[in-house]
Amino acid sequence: MIKKILLSASLILMLLNMGMSAGFAQEIPNAYVKVNSLNVRNSADIQSQVIGNVVVGQKLELLEQSGKWSKVRLENGTLGWVYSDYISSSSNTYSQGSASQVVSRGGSRASSLMVVANAKLGAKYSRGSEGPDRFDCSGFVKYVYKEVFGRVLPHSSKEQGQLGSSVPREAVQTGDIVVFATAGSSNINHSGIYLNDGKFIHASSYDGKVLISDMSSGHYYKAFRGARRIE
């Protein structure tokens, strides 16, 4: 009889503990992608392998944060890492419409372009490619402008250097196309997108990837051949 009472008491305590644990269990927070296309990597490193891709408005489970990176679980169960700047806790802050829309509601066109361009940092260089995972220089510029503005630009640095209106070096703004004559050429053969503080983002054949470089001094300062603004 005593054994039965003890067993019953143990069972009740176990059920109570299970209920309390369930009550105190924290919900895993959600995050939402705020750029048109975001790579998911297998570790918190821009050089690590891309194991997936998520799109604007897609819901992720936020599991862990490490520096500027977040560990997430995709809707299909895949675990990976994404750059924290490109996700948000709010599902209403970002447009879930077509890629031609400005990403941030109420945000500037230039900042939207900057976000999308930065999402491709580290993507491999490949001659003749225009994304979404490999680019040459003019293909990268073409991809970003298409994603953010729905504008189809020519896949040519020289032709991109003739679009819109000319902007003097001292007046270049975020989102302007910048063009260069590199490798001793006298003609425009390279293009990128200006960010700020003398920096621009581009797909470099020399470095073999999309990266940010300084055009306020050194090689790209000398190679600079102009900037173009497309309204």
> For residue 2, what are its two tokens?
């005593």
> Which among 33, 44, 137, 148 is annotated as catalytic?
137
**Which one of the listed residues 142, 190, 209, 225 is annotated catalytic?**
190
Question: What residue type is 35 in one-letter code?
Answer: V
Catalytic: 137?
yes
CA separation for the pair 64, 31 (Å, rounded): 11
Helix 137-149 to helix 109-118 angle (10° resolution) is 130
Is residue 196 within 8 A of residue 130, CB to CB? The reply is: no
Can you tell me whether residue 97 is helix, strand or coil?
A: coil
What is the spatial distance between Cα 60 and Cα 80, in angstroms, rounded to a whole number?
A: 10
Catalytic one among 134, 202, 209, 225? 202
Are residues 88 and 94 in contact, defined by beta-carbon separation less than 8 angstroms?
Answer: yes
Catalytic residues: 137, 190, 202
